[in-house]
């Protein structure tokens, strides 16, 4: 696609206005302006919508995304969109969720990216756990494959985990696959939580010592951690929750300095969207989330490859959809 000098300059200005706060230069945005222009043009022509998780890079979040959110928000956006095609910029299990909730739509993932949690458990593991705990309900974190979801009663995300657990009729809950999240929710419920040994390779890297160091370095700092962090980290922070909870906390807080114990995409988002607040300390990169690049988004719109098309066999899809509908029912109650 050919663009005029004026179109390119306007796009560079539009991008720089957002991306500068996240450390991008005029030279950086010059490189991506032709890509974002073409993607946005193709999106219109094809009646496509781009959904992006907050952990995506700022060029995707502010360059081409129509909706940015956490895993629950993205599920609801995917379920309710009127667009005929969904380009899902995130890890594969989230794109599967979009396809399950909106099966008539074409759902594409620009790069096929896994997740250490989703890969830590199989449908056979769930069947075995059910045999060992026949009276327990089974809740899976949404970070699981459609095939695993198909064997569980309900999904949950970090933002609705307590609503889902408390909404289940059983007093014993098998909670998979996040070992740390299971340990973090146990003190918040009277139900017995039976966990699994999956971990997020990004959030398990944070240590309680880092939290202590940042508190000492930045007196008065508020430290917000993702519930996928270890209990040793969670007990030292001011708020534990999902990415949406972090944004709400910052929105409602008069404090000025925050450390986000999570993926760097969230820190970039806050730098761009809340310039009056200061983000301190370090964050961590998710190698899976960061696999998606603008060139892949463009390619998926132009000529999608088979591996970019999200398709789920009907027998798995029907059961996994019931699991997701259950999560939505328990959340929206």
Of 147 and 289, the one with the shorter C-beta distance to ligand SF4 is 289
Contact residue for ligand SF4 among 64, 117, 161, 293 (CB under 6 A): 117
Q: Are 139 and 196 in contact (CB under 8 A)?
A: no
The closest alpha carbon to 143, from 97, 196, 102, 182, belongs to 97
Residues 170-199 that bind ligand SF4 (CB under 6 A): none
Report phi then psi at 56, rounded to 5: -70, 160
Contact residue for ligand SF4 among 91, 267, 270, 283 (CB under 6 A): 91
Q: Work out what residue 243 binds among ligand 13P, ligand SF4, none; the CB cut-off runs from 5 to 8 Å by kind.
A: ligand 13P
Helix 294-302 vs helix 26-46: angle between axes, to the nearest 10 degrees?
20
Shortest reach from residue 71's CB to ligand 13P, in Å: 3
DSSP letters along 162-199, please? HHHHHHSS-SEEEEESBHHHHHHHGGG-SSEEE---B-
- Residue 1 CB: number of other CB atoms within 10 A? 10
Q: Is 242 in the site for ligand 13P (CB under 6 A)?
A: yes
Q: Is 263 in the site for ligand SF4 (CB under 6 A)?
A: yes
Binding mask 139-168 for ligand 13P (x = CB under 6 A): ----x-------------xx----------
Of 36 and 160, the one with the shorter C-beta distance to ligand SF4 is 160
Q: Are 67 and 326 in contact (CB under 8 A)?
A: no
Which of helix, strand or coil describes residue 205? Answer: helix
The footprint of ligand 13P (CB under 6 A) covers 70-71, 143, 157-158, 200, 226, 228, 242-243
The footprint of ligand SF4 (CB under 6 A) covers 91, 115-117, 143, 200-203, 228, 263, 286, 288-289
């Amino acid at each position: 696609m050919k663009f005029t000098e004026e179109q390119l300059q306007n796009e560079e200005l539009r991008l720089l206005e957002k991306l500068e706060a996240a450390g991008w230069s005029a030279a950086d945005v010059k490189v991506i302006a032709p890509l974002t222009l073409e993607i946005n043009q193709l999106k219109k022509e094809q009646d496509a919508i781009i959904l992006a998780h907050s952990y995506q890079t700022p060029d995707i979040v502010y360059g081409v995304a129509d909706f940015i959110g956490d895993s629950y928000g993205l599920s609801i956006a995917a379920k309710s969109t009127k667009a005929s095609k969904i380009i899902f910029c995130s890890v594969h299990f989230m794109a599967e969720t979009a396809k399950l909730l909106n099966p008539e739509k074409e759902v594409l993932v620009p790069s096929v990216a896994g997740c250490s949690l989703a890969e830590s458990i199989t449908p056979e593991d769930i069947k075995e756990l059910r045999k060992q705990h026949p009276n327990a309900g089974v809740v899976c974190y949404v970070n699981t494959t459609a095939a695993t979801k198909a064997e569980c009663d309900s999904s949950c995300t970090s933002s609705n985990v307590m609503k889902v657990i408390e909404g289940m009729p059983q007093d014993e809950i098998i909670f998979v696959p996040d070992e740390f999240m299971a340990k973090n929710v146990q003190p918040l419920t009277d139900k017995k939580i039976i966990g699994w040994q999956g971990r997020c390779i990004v959030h398990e890297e944070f240590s309680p010592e880092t939290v202590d160091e940042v508190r000492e370095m930045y007196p008065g700092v508020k430290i917000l951690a993702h519930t996928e962090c270890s209990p040793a980290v969670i007990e030292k922070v001011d708020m534990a929750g999902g990415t949406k909870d972090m944004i709400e906390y910052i929105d409602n807080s008069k404090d000025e300095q925050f450390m986000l114990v999570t993926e760097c995409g969230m820190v970039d988002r806050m730098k761009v969207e809340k310039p009056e607040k200061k983000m301190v300390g370090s964050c961590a990169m998710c190698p899976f989330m960061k696999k998606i690049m603008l060139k892949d988004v463009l390619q998926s719109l132009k000529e999608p490859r088979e591996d970019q098309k999200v398709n789920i066999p009907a027998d798995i899809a029907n059961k996994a959809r019931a699991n997701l509908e259950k999560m939505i029912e328990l959340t929206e109650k």
